[in-house]
Amino acid sequence: MNEKGFEPLMSDEVFLAGASASDVRSLWRSLARTQEVREVARGLASDPTEIRRLCRFVERVLHEDYDRQFRHPDDIAIAAALVVLEQSPLSDVRNLFARLRASKEPSLAWVRLMAEYCDARFAEVERSGSLALERRKVPLVSAFRETANISWADPGLESRRLSLQLA
């Protein structure tokens, strides 16, 4: 996918979906539901090269000339790109979100709000070896001990119980 593949984010359909939003949450939902955003997201398919290209596309659109006394003319397209990028752990993406969150330009208010919202939704993978059960952290071993008796469902595999011996 080249930069032409990101042009659907700048379509009238995406703009109309975002223009009716009254807050950042409804903006996110409206944009996430559009066919154009879903197509771009499928086109990226967790490809780091394509994700970085989308970041460069956003940077290019951000730096186009416009009257800074008014909204950025492509702020909805930028917000749509942020919806696509929100769960990527790549440093390019996280840095882009950090820069946009720190933006003080009134013309990028929707972009800043979307960056804050998407960053808050970002679910970094936890590597601690714990499972979140019932809103509390339970060590992995304890989670298995609670289900220590497992029986085979296939009668062809000798119906017997298997006890897990976890130290």
CA nearest to 95, candidates 52, 126, 31, 38: 52
pLDDT band at 3 (very low <50, low <70, confident <90, very high): low
* Lowest mean per-residue pLDDT among 86-90, 104-108, 109-113, 139-143: 139-143
Report yes or no: 72 and 66 within 8 Å, Cβ to Cβ: yes
Locate 60 and state its tokens. Answer: 């290019």
pLDDT band at 24 (very low <50, low <70, confident <90, very high): very high
pLDDT tens digit sequence for 31-65: 999 999 999 999 898 899 999 999 999 999 999 99
Residue 162 has pLDDT above 70, yes or no: no
**Residue 137 pairs with which residues in a beta bridge?**
132
pLDDT band at 123 (very low <50, low <70, confident <90, very high): confident
**Residue 163 pairs with which residues in a beta bridge?**
149
What is the rounded CA–CA span in Å between residue 101 and residue 159?
Answer: 58
H runs (alpha helix) in the chain? 12-19, 24-33, 35-44, 48-62, 75-85, 91-101, 109-121, 140-145
